[in-house]
Amino acid sequence: MDAETALELVKKGATLLFLDVPQNTLLGIDTQMFSVGPNFKGIKMIPPGPHFVYYSSSNRVGNEFSPMIGFFINLNPSEVIVRKWDLQEEKLVKITDQEEEERYCRAVLSLEFDKYLGPYTLSQFGEWKMLSNYITKSVIDRIEPIGAYITVINEPDILGNGPKTAMEEALSEQLKNSKIQKSDLKLEKRGCYYTKIPRLVKKKGIPEQDLTSINLDKTNLLESILTKDYGGDEDLLLGELQFAFVAFLMGQSLEAFLQWKAFVSLLFGCTQAPLQRRSHLFTKFIKVLYHQLKYAFQKDRAHNSAETNGPLTLLDDSILSADSFLQHLCKEFFWLVLEAPVVDGDLLSWTRKLKVLLEESLGWEFKQENMEDGSFYEEDDEFAPVVVMPDELN
C-alpha cells in the first residue's frame, strides 16, 4: 500500500487507543488476534461499523492466560476510542477525565501515536462482515451486559440446574476446577440480555397430542418469539444469533454458546416454517450458519495459536464431534428440505452448500433415505424436490 492511500485510510478509519496494555497480552479485534509488544498502543484503520474486541492478560513469561474478556463496539468514521489498562482489575477501562480523553483523541488525529498503532488487516474484513452483517448498534445495545464486558467469569451459574449433555457436564466440571474459579478479576456476575428460548413448550389446557405436535414442529414457537421479542423483524433474530456466535467463539463465553445452540435448535426444529411463510428467513439463517461453521473449521485461524485451557476446546468438540447436537439437527433438516416436494430455490441451494461443507470438512454423512421403501433419491430423480424460484412464489 502506498503512503498516500495508507494515510487516507488512517484518517477515515476509526482508531482504538489502548494505553498501558501489558506485554504478552493476547488482544483481538474481529477475526484478528495479536500478542502485545512493548510499543503497542492500539489499532488504526478500522472500518466503520460493529466490531468485537477481546483480550486475555498473561503471566510474566507469557505462557498462561486469564479468561477472555470481550466487548462489542460500533465505530463511526474517524472516531477515536480511548481505553487505559487497569492493573488492579486486569482489564481495559474508560478514562473518567473528559479533558484527558479529548487530549488523547486530538493527539491520535494529529498522528502523534501513529507509529505505535497496529493496522487493522483489511484483507480479513470481508470474513468479519460474513460473521456480523446482521449485528447493528441496536442489536448490541439490546443484548450487551451492564458494563459491556462479556466474559465467562461474569456469567451466572447457567449449568447449575437442569439436564446437561455430556459436553455440558464436562464443561461444568472444568469451570469448577479451573483458574476461572480462582481468578482475582473483580467483575460483577452479570450476563447478556439474550432472548429466552424454551427447550420445551409447556401450556396448560392443551391436549397431550397437540402439545407433542407443537414440540415436534417449533414453527409456532418461532412465530411467537419473532412477534413478541423482535416485533416481527427477522434480521434482529439473526443479529442475536451472530452476536452469540462471536461472543462464544472469540470471547469464549459459555452463556453465548448455549444461546447460539438454542437458536440453532429452534430453527432446525421447525418443519413448516422453512417450506412455507419463512423460506426467506431460513435461507438467510442457513447462509449465516454456513459462514459461521466455515470460519470455525479453519484450523489455522490466528487465535487458535494461543495456548488456552478455557472452555473453547470443549465448545469446539461439542460442534465438531460426529454425534453432536448439530449433526443430528442437520440430518433432519437436510432430509426435510432436500426431499420436500416444493422448495424455495435459494433455500435449496444454500442447504446443499451447507451439507457439502459439513461432509468435506468433517466427513459427516447425510444420506437422504426414502422413509417408505428405503431407497435413495438421485440428483436427477423424477421424485426429487420441485425447485420453486423466489419470483414464482410471489
Which DSSP string do the residues of 197-259 spell out, in sequence order?
--SS---TTS-HHHHHHHHHSTHHHHHHHHHHHHTT-HHHHHHHHHHHHHHHHTT--HHHHHH
Placement of cell 426431499 in the chain: 339
Poorest-pLDDT segment among 253-257, 283-287, 367-371, 379-383: 379-383
Give me the pLDDT at residue 352, please: 95
Average of per-residue pLDDT across 154-181? 57
**In this predicted model, which residue has the larger pLDDT, 242 or 298?**
242
Give me the residues paired with residue 150 across strands: 70
Instruction: Select from 286, 267, 276, 391 the least CA-distant residue to 343.
Output: 276
SS3 369: strand
Task: Using the predicted structure, report yes or no on whether residue 5 has a pLDDT greater than 80.
Answer: no
pLDDT band per the 50, 70, 90 thresholds, residue 305: very low
Task: Using the predicted structure, report yes or no on whether residue 133 has a pLDDT greater than 50.
Answer: yes
Q: Are 54 and 28 in contact (CB under 8 A)?
A: yes
Average of per-residue pLDDT across 36-57? 94
Give me the pLDDT at residue 59, please: 73
Task: Using the predicted structure, report yes or no on whether residue 291 has a pLDDT greater than 50.
Answer: yes
Amino acid identity for residue 263 in this structure:
F
Q: Are 50 and 140 in contact (CB under 8 A)?
A: yes
Grid coordinates of 106: 486530538
Average of per-residue pLDDT across 370-386? 44
Percent of the chain having pLDDT more than 90? 53
Task: Using the predicted structure, report yes or no on whether residue 248 has a pLDDT greater than 60.
Answer: yes
Give me the pLDDT at residue 376, please: 40
CA distance readout (Å), 178 to 79, 245, 339? 39, 23, 47
Give me the pLDDT at residue 158, please: 58
Poorest-pLDDT segment among 12-21, 88-97, 320-329, 345-354: 320-329
pLDDT in tens, 68-127: 899 999 999 999 999 999 988 888 999 989 999 999 999 999 999 999 999 999 999 999
Q: What is the phi-psi region of residue 43: left when phi exceeds 0, alpha when psi lies from -120 to 50, beta otherwise?
A: beta
- pTM score of the predicted model: 0.83
CA distance readout (Å), 319 to 328, 343, 367? 11, 27, 20
CATH class belonging to 3-132: mainly beta
pLDDT band per the 50, 70, 90 thresholds, residue 335: very high
- What is the 3-class SS of 313-336, one letter each residue? HHHHHHHHCCCCHHHHHHHHHHHH
Poorest-pLDDT segment among 201-210, 230-239, 332-341: 201-210
What stretch(es) of the chain map to CATH 1.25.40.550? 156-393
pLDDT band per the 50, 70, 90 thresholds, residue 200: low
Average of per-residue pLDDT across 2-17? 83
Give me the pLDDT at residue 271, please: 93
Average of per-residue pLDDT across 319-344? 85
Give me the pLDDT at residue 201, please: 57
Burial of 300 (0-12, 13-18, 19+ CB in 10 A): exposed
Task: Using the predicted structure, report yes or no on whether residue 226 has a pLDDT greater than 90.
Answer: yes
Average of per-residue pLDDT across 135-154? 91
For the chain, what is the mean pLDDT? 81
What stretch(es) of the chain map to CATH 2.60.34.20? 3-132
CATH number, domain 156-393, options 3.40.50.1000, 1.25.40.550, 3.40.50.620, 1.10.10.10: 1.25.40.550
Query: How are strands ordered across the β-sheet holding 42-46?
Result: 91-94, 80-86, 14-19, 42-46, 118-119
